[in-house]
Chains A and B, each alone.
Chain A
Amino acid sequence: MSECVLAVRGVSKSFAGVQALSDINLEIRPGEIHCLAGENGSGKSTLIKVISGVHDPDEGTIEIGGVVHKRLTPVEAIAAGVQVIYQDFSVFPNLTVMENLALNTELASKRKLVNWRRFRRIAEEAVAKIDFSVDLDQLVGKLSVADKQLVAISRALMSDAKLIIMDEPTTALTKKEVDALFRIILDLKARGIAILFVSHKLEEVFEISERFTIIRNGRAVATCLPEELNRRTFTQYMTGRDFEDAHFQVGELPPEPALEARALTVTGAFSDVSFSLRPGEILGITGLLGSGRTELAMTLFGAYRPDAGELLVKGSPVRFSGIRAAIAGGIGYVPEDRLTEGLFLERSIGDNIVIAQIDQLVTRGLLDRERKTASAAEWVRDLKIATPDPENAANTLSGGNQQRIVLAKWLATRPDVLILNGPTVGVDIGSKHDIHEILRELAGSGMAVIIISDDIPEVIQNCNRVLLMKAGRITDEIDPGTVTERQLAALMTGESDQEGKH
């Protein structure tokens, strides 16, 4: 087995009595594309940190290129050919591409002085490895996300990497960019470089991974080939639970729409968007990154002002002057990025829940603290937020519970229309299931719900209608009962590739 690039044998690691990893075994062969899957908090980040030398294992060994290590420093890991590409890519936005590419190499060879000509040579060599065409004098901060990732990959290759670990590499990429990334990865594979993907989404990496290792609660529960996996088994391995895949059944709908868009246009984002939404419906809006789906949501929420077209709430036309006007008009919005746009991590769960309706809790100029506490307690109970005390800070909770806080915040404003942008991104599967249940109940009680998501199974199972957005326009309306996931995926990506070729 010494032909393995990496062999993790019986690794255990605990933090302050909490067992983060127990008896993990993982082998990666040269040129293999391996996927490490697991829910948030399953221990996959800890495992990566052990492999890259950030944490020392309590037990077990790490074998890299035939050398067995009991403990490893980050420098040793890099020297042995292990490179990690973090989710934030670890680049310097204020420096040029050239410098970003050359600094690591120069630091590794312990240079004290800067030779700009050598910097340029190193950078040219680095981009040549993956045929990456980029202006070396451009600031990295001005590049697209995909290009930043390519900078990180080229940089990783400079140190003679044998194994590249990529942490959630496709999350922020468009479909075309993902395809480009996969081509590069296949090229690396051909050169014998192994790739370890870290992901919690099967769809992302299914087409390219050759083997899967799934960990749960710090244990490797399965190592298998792609043909042995489907979404159901994948979910079972990830969560240890089995979920029924039931479609949402819409009830009887009143004729009056809750929200109606007529030829809504925001220049540069989307144009001529029309749809109507009745109370009790769950409308899906799906499309790739950059299709205009987020901008549409933000416009409905009053954050952007439409340049043309009309928006009607309960039959009367509205022009929201801003977010506050939209909230007053009965719109709620669960944003795309929970951590930066939704949560106040260091503040209490209760404050997080009541903040959007806090002005309603004021009597005679003073905050009614009893009503505030009661309201928070009520939502904690109703949404089953797992906390002993709503006074605890929001960052004491897991991703799923945090998302419930954001949901509670909007439900507390008693909206007529609730818009959710990526409602279950980064949420573990159990919570995801619960959140879907809640949304269905809300629709059942007469709320109009919009789910914006590129998670195809999510929209198919939970919506009664799905609108497909492409390049800023609604191109299709789909009945989820009659379309398979594969067909929807094809619709989403198929034509846009052709558009790209024009």
Chain B
Amino acid sequence: MSALFQKVIRANEFYVFLVIVAVCLLIQVRSGQFFTANNLVDLANAMVVPGLFAIGAFLVIVSGGIDVSFPALASLAVYAVTRFLVDSHYEGGILLPFAMVIGLGALLGAFNGLFTSRLAVPSLIITLGTANVFSGVMQGALSSVQIAKIPPAMAEFGRSSLFVATNPVSGLTSSMPVSFLILVVVAAIVFFLLRFTMFGRGIFAIGGDESAASRAGFNVRRTKFWLYVIVGVIAAVAGLIRTCGMGQMHPTNLLGMEMMVIAAVVLGGTAITGGTGSLTGVMLGTLLIVIVQNSMILLGIPTFWQQFSLGLLIIVGTGISALQIARSGNGLRAVLR
């Protein structure tokens, strides 16, 4: 039991958790509105899309890469599907949109995978290129515009809720979207994938030492390729959830989110150099950022501070872990590092 305790307090996740608790208490003391049912549901709602993106970004970072193309990928996949369904006056259920988005996400992910698995170029550079290609196809070839009226099934899915939470004092209500279940399911599947499949262990192995992985018998190319396919699917699903939730297709809504998502993954203790990190940490890191962003209003801080505080959070968070790494090294060597 004490060994478990030791393990817990040594884990990075534990400290992120402590920070979250501290932030929550602070907000609660200042506003008295944090631990209310509707605020918690709002937070859960706001977690869904960044949470899904973070899972995808996490997978790539663990494998030793960095993906900045997922918002563009999601936007393109969802825009193309929505456009097609709207133009063909689709009146059916939600399953077809999901199936189409997943298929297209896989295809675009494969495009990423094709390059990243074959070229010895940092994946940041490659995905920078593919991100431009994706948004170029969307804005140029598909000449994307805002689609105000999305297919009814999508709008309905966006409105559907698991339950509604009411704030007893203010009377404000918030509903828990069904899409939250998707986040839970995807997180569970990815957890299983990483923990209990050789493919998942291969992602960690490649992030640890790519040439050792290929000597051990992992098919590094194939693993990387399918990794990007999976990330493409997750990103596209997140994009569809966002569009449904907004009740309209806003093609550039997601663009620029990559920075915030990568920050969340790193704040959760994932090593940017690859090989180490946990899904728990990723979820906590995302939660921290979502809480900070969502609670500004509760604290009466103008939203103008949002971006500033996000930057500060990234710098302080990564700075602390960087200093920890520098300290944990051999004391003598530290002079030279």
Q: Does A356 contact B (CB under 8 A)?
A: no
Query: B196–A92 contact, CB under 8 A?
Result: no
Query: A106–B198 contact, CB under 8 A?
Result: yes
B198 contacts which of A107, A268, A303 (Cβ < 8 Å)?
A107
Known: A268-B331, A305-B335. A91 touches B196 (CB 8 A): no
Q: Does A108 contact B (CB under 8 A)?
A: yes
Query: B198–A94 contact, CB under 8 A?
Result: no
Interface of A is mostly: loop
Assembly CA distance A2 to B215 (angstroms): 29
Q: Does B218 contact A (CB under 8 A)?
A: yes
Query: A92–B205 contact, CB under 8 A?
Result: yes
Could you tell me how many residues of chain B have their Cβ less than 8 Å away from some Cβ of chain A?
A: 25
Query: A95–B332 contact, CB under 8 A?
Result: no
Q: Which residues of B lie under 8 Å from residue A266 when comparing CB positions? A: 332
B196 contacts which of A99, A104, A113, A269 (Cβ < 8 Å)?
A113
Query: B208–A94 contact, CB under 8 A?
Result: yes
Known: A95-B205, A103-B205, A303-B336. A114 touches B215 (CB 8 A): no
Query: B201–A114 contact, CB under 8 A?
Result: yes
Interface of B is mostly: helix
Q: Which residues of A lie under 8 Å from residue B332 when comparing CB positions? A: 266, 268-269, 295, 298, 304
Q: Contact flags (1/0) for B186-204 with A, using CB distance below 8 Å?
A: 0000000001111111001
Query: B198–A111 contact, CB under 8 A?
Result: yes
Q: Contact flags (1/0) for B206-220 with A, using CB distance below 8 Å?
A: 011101110111100
Q: Does B71 contact A (CB under 8 A)?
A: no
Assembly CA distance A304 to B332 (angstroms): 7
Q: Does B275 contact A (CB under 8 A)?
A: yes
Known: A99-B201, A305-B335. A107 touches B217 (CB 8 A): yes
Known: A107-B198, A113-B197. A94 touches B331 (CB 8 A): no
Name B273's closest neighbour in chain A (CB-CB): A94
Known: A304-B332, A305-B335. A90 touches B215 (CB 8 A): yes
Assembly CA distance A212 to B217 (angstroms): 32
Within 8 A of B (CB), among A71-110: 75, 86, 88, 90-95, 99, 103-104, 106-108
Q: Does A364 contact B (CB under 8 A)?
A: no
Query: A304–B335 contact, CB under 8 A?
Result: yes
Name A111's closest neighbour in chain B (CB-CB): B198
Assembly CA distance A303 to B205 (angstroms): 35
Assembly CA distance A111 to B212 (angstroms): 19
Q: Does B293 contact A (CB under 8 A)?
A: no
Within 8 A of B (CB), among A264-287: 266, 268-269
Q: Does A112 contact B (CB under 8 A)?
A: yes
Assembly CA distance A268 to B209 (angstroms): 31
14 sample A-B contacts, Cβ–Cβ < 8 Å, listed by A number: A92-B208, A92-B209, A94-B207, A94-B276, A95-B201, A95-B204, A95-B205, A103-B201, A103-B205, A112-B197, A113-B197, A114-B196, A303-B335, A305-B335
Q: 8 extra interchain contacts, Cβ-Cβ under 8 A, other than A92-B205, A92-B275, A304-B332?
A: A88-B212, A90-B216, A92-B212, A103-B201, A104-B216, A111-B198, A113-B197, A295-B332
Interface of B toward A, CB cutoff 8 Å: 195-201, 204-205, 207-209, 211-213, 215-218, 275-276, 331-332, 335-336
